[in-house]
């Protein structure tokens, strides 16, 4: 998959794609239905924005994203996307009228042949443009348009909001039913306090900055090591939260990979949350913590072996 970070100055070979357009936070089943409607004879593309427009307009609001840009790109590549147009959402883009966005970005810059959006799509300055406006404006530039209906699960519209709620409630399987895959946290392994190593459970630590926080606690997880000499798939148990045994801490994800030996610092991991095992707890000393960690790992092994 080729990634493009502006609509201007594109190589001619990057123009003329059939694109699905939106924020695609989570790339859930509703998003995938939109993407499928863009498949055709032209190369499949995605038009999305970075940062998320909500981050641009309200930078001080609590973190809400289901996935960072790296995880989104990885998921879109798995769906066969050939061109990812990750447009910079800044003052210039935010100021474009609906007419200007279609003329300058879709027609003039990207030269798209076909654009697909969800029925609730809004665009242009002040979110004034609707899906119906997009059809009208694209038609004037000879661009084919398709409006995708909203997809439902259990009589509820699939949305990033409903997936966030399922994760906040500690129900990763419910989230997975709407995503079409396990919810994953992806990123680089960073240095931590190395307490897990001292306790006999060395963990790979990952930051959660900018991400919606699932329910804190211990999870059974599936782990893909994406880079490095030990790339591959593993089972594990992970602690997501602030580590109350050791004072007030910034939330992070600490993953213990079963039957693994090696150094993962600087490598990139994809950690899938499968089942919430228990909430975070503060134990009466380290021996009690280690005993519970052993029970957690046994439970996680049993759950994951049944998948």
Pairing relationship of beta strands 217-225 and 268-278 according to DSSP bridges = antiparallel
Pairing relationship of beta strands 18-21 and 114-118 according to DSSP bridges = parallel
Report in angstroms the alpha-carbon separations of 111 from 89, 102, 192, 300.
Answer: 19, 10, 46, 49
275 phi and psi, to 5 degrees?
-150, 135
Residue 204 is encoded by which pair of tokens? 């790979």
DSSP state of 17: -
Catalytic residue list: 254
Residue 227: count other Cβ atoms within 10 Å of its Cβ: 13
DSSP characters for 113-132?
SEEEEETT--BSGGG-B-HH
Name, in order, each residue with C-beta under 8 angstroms of 151's C-beta and a sequence gap of 6 or more. Answer: 29, 30, 33, 157, 158
CA–CA gap between residue 290 and residue 306 (Å, rounded): 25
3-state SS, residue 252: strand
């Amino acid at each position: 998959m080729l990634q493009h970070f502006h609509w201007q100055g594109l190589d001619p070979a990057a123009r003329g794609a059939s694109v699905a357009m939106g924020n695609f936070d989570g790339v859930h089943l509703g998003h995938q239905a939109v993407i499928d409607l863009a498949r055709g004879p032209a190369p499949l593309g995605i038009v999305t924005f970075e940062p998320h427009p909500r981050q641009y307009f309200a930078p001080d609001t609590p973190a809400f994203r289901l996935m960072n840009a790296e995880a989104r790109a990885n998921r879109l590549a798995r769906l066969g996307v050939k061109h990812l147009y990750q447009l910079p959402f800044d003052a210039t883009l935010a100021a474009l009228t609906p007419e200007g966005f279609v003329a300058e970005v879709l027609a003039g810059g990207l030269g798209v042949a076909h654009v697909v959006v969800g029925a609730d799509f809004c665009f242009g300055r002040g979110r004034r443009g609707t899906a119906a406006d997009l059809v009208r404006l694209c038609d004037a530039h000879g661009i084919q348009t398709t409006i995708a209906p909203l997809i439902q699960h259990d009589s509820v519209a699939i949305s990033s909001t409903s997936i966030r709620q399922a994760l906040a409630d500690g129900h990763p399987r419910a989230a997975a039913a709407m995503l079409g895959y396990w919810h994953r946290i992806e990123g680089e392994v960073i240095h931590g306090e190395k307490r897990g190593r001292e306790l006999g459970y060395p963990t790979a630590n990952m930051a959660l900055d900018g991400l919606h926080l699932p329910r804190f606690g211990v999870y059974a997880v599936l782990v893909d090591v994406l880079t490095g000499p030990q790339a591959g798939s593993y089972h594990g148990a992970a602690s997501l939260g602030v580590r109350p045994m050791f004072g007030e801490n910034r939330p992070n994800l600490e993953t213990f990979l079963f039957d693994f030996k090696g150094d993962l610092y600087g490598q990139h991991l994809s950690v899938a949350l499968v089942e919430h095992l228990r909430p975070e707890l503060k134990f009466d000393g380290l021996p009690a913590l280690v005993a519970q960690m052993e029970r957690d790992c046994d439970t996680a092994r049993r759950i994951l072996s049944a998948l």
